[in-house]
Amino acid sequence: MVDKNQELRDKGLRLTPQRQLVLQAVRELGHATPEEVAEKVRSTHPGINLSTVYRNLETLENVGLVQHTHLGHGGATYHAAEELTHLHLVCGKCGSVGDAPIETAASFVNTLIDEYGFKTDVTHFAIYGTCESCTAKS
């Protein structure tokens, strides 16, 4: 447990229960909106304020422990930095978020660099479309 403490301390952050809970929630949830993170945290610690969740997500992002993306509509979704090993396949119908390995996009990403000088940020890579089950339904 000293490890996990150090992880935050090393970044110059204080170790508050709220902070730890937010980070833990993001890690457990995989993908989550601030609202979902708050809900998760509250399932064990009801008193935690929403703005504390927002502030911690921002702080944790600043030190590189989590990141956010804009998948589909309005809300940002957060994930732990370690989790950024896949692409997000966002379904516009049902809102689900599927995963695919980053390598799937490797040659595409290379083409963009070579031909357009554009360096794709794979950690922000969100692909919009329709998932398999929604396609089947229609």
Given the rule CB under 8 A, which residues bind its own copies?
Answer: 69-70, 72-74, 89, 91-92, 98, 100, 104-105, 107-108, 111-112, 115-121, 124-132, 135
User: Per CB under 7 A, does 24 bind DNA?
Assistant: no
Burial class, 108, CB count within 10 angstroms (exposed 0-12 / middle 13-18 / buried 19+): exposed
Nearer to DNA, 42 or 86 (CB): 42
Residues 42-81: x/- map of binding to DNA (CB under 7 A)? -----xxxxxx-xxx-xx--------------xxx-----
Identify what 34 binds: DNA, its own copies, none; CB under 5 to 8 Å per kind.
Answer: DNA
Secondary structure of 51-75 as H, E, C letters:
HHHHHHHHHHHHCCCEEEECCCCCC
